[in-house]
Structure 1
Amino acid sequence: MSSATFSYIYNMKHLALLRGINVSGHNMIKMEALKLLLEQVGFNNVVTYIQSGNVFVESEEESAASVGFTIKQEIFKQLGLEVPVVVINKTDLEDCLQNNPFCKEKDVDTKKLYVAFISKELPSTAINDLKISQFKPDEAVVKGNKIFIKYHVGSGKTRLDQKYIEKKLNVIATMRNWNTIHKLLEMY
């Protein structure tokens, strides 16, 4: 009797957050086309959520940075679009729910809560570089690869946006509202 050797392929589940697609007629990508493109380059179980660029993929690749680079590269090769990508995992989303300092406030309006996901870990001193005081009454807290933001009026009426964050911190940033973060965690 011979013994058989089995090898199991373990797929990691990643959440790719594409920045700046399908906004005001720029970087238009249909989610069905994106799904097909990512499946053709070897990603499995590709699932998209809404048109703003939330894409779950499974891959043997463990490195979030490698997954993000591949997605960005393929979008450029196939569609000719330069789209920044930040890849996160379930733990990042769970951390948002557990550690958002603004959720601890009484009567917080969750419609004004956002999280900027950053392409790298930030030192706690990064908040000084953002010069948040000039955006009062908007507030922000830096924690690792996330910036928790509470807008006073709303995200469309402030200069504290992802372009500002990227410029000041020399990073890639993409923002999601509180409801989207809840839904993405649910989808995991």
Structure 2
Amino acid sequence: MTTTYAALLRGINVGGKKKLPMAELRQLMEGLGYEGVRTHLQSGQAVFATGHGDEASLAAELTQAIEKRFGFSVDVIVRDHAYLKAVAEACPFPAAELEPKQLHVTYFSAPVDAQRFAEIDREAYLPEEFRLGDRELYLYVPEGLGRSKLAEHLAKPRINKGVIATTRNWNTVLKLVELTA
């Protein structure tokens, strides 16, 4: 049985570092036997189908292949369509009423320790807010991610120790649902 996935690559093509041309990424993924490979934007989203592996093994396979081919390490999270759709549908914020730059989802490579997030003084960051899911975090930032003190705090390693995290804006969240359908 073939499943459609999205691969979320963290920190590529940002500020001239870790340049990874999407055409070359597509070729690499096709070389791994993935089918229907497509990329979205230049910031590290690829959609593909395969009948082997699971999210974790596919992420590891892709991480190793990128390092071998391009000479640098890239964190990769792989999620299937059902998960991506469930994340979009479970959004605790009124997504339809917000600008896409105000709403983001951070995808985690594994479930996170909710206690680490419970210790955050949420009042100190208002009107910014977040809601934690199992392997995702919804982030509302009225002034955008670049100006967010809450996003800066959440990015600290002590919050997500040992877990890969990568954030996408709401437009990209919805596009990945569409592309994996």
- Per the alignment, in what secondary structure is the counterpart of residue 73 of structure 2? coil
Check whether the contact 2:109–2:135 (CA below 8 A) recurs between aligned residues: yes
Question: Runs of 4 or more off by more than 3 Å in structure 1?
Answer: 106-110, 123-126, 129-134, 159-166
1:75 and 2:57 equivalent?
A: no
Identity %: 29
Q: Distance in 1 between matches of 2:119 and 2:50?
A: 36
1:10-159 equivalences in 2 (<5 Å) = 10-103=1-94, 107-159=97-149
1:165 and 2:155 equivalent?
A: yes
Check whether the contact 2:3–2:80 (CA below 8 A) recurs between aligned residues: no
Bigger CA radius of gyration:
1
- With 14-23 and 164-173 compared, the bigger mean Cα shift is at 164-173
Q: Distance in 1 between matches of 2:27 and 2:8?
A: 17
Partner of 1:3: none
Q: Distance in 2 between matches of 1:35 and 1:163?
A: 34
- Per the alignment, in what secondary structure is the counterpart of residue 52 of structure 1? coil
Q: Distance in 1 between matches of 2:123 and 2:67?
A: 38
User: Could you tell me how far 1:107 is from its partner in structure 2?
Assistant: 4.1
Q: Distance in 1 between matches of 2:121 and 2:72?
A: 32
Q: Which AA in structure 2 matches 1:108? A: L
Q: Distance in 2 between matches of 1:133 and 1:69?
A: 38
1:182 and 2:174 equivalent?
A: yes
The TM-score with structure 2 as length reference comes to 0.88
Q: 1:86 to 1:144 in 2, by over 3 A?
A: same
- Per the alignment, in what secondary structure is the counterpart of residue 161 of structure 1? helix
Structure 2: stretches of 5+ with no match in the other structure: none
Q: Which AA in structure 2 matches 1:148? A: Y
- Per the alignment, in what secondary structure is the counterpart of residue 150 of structure 2? coil
Q: Distance in 1 between matches of 2:120 and 2:32?
A: 38
The TM-score with structure 1 as length reference comes to 0.85
Structure 1: stretches of 5+ with no match in the other structure: 1-9
Q: Which AA in structure 2 matches 1:84? A: D
- Per the alignment, in what secondary structure is the counterpart of residue 13 of structure 1? strand
Q: Distance in 2 between matches of 1:183 and 1:83?
A: 22
Check whether the contact 2:128–2:140 (CA below 8 A) recurs between aligned residues: yes
- With 130-139 and 113-122 compared, the bigger mean Cα shift is at 130-139
- With 114-123 and 142-151 compared, the bigger mean Cα shift is at 114-123
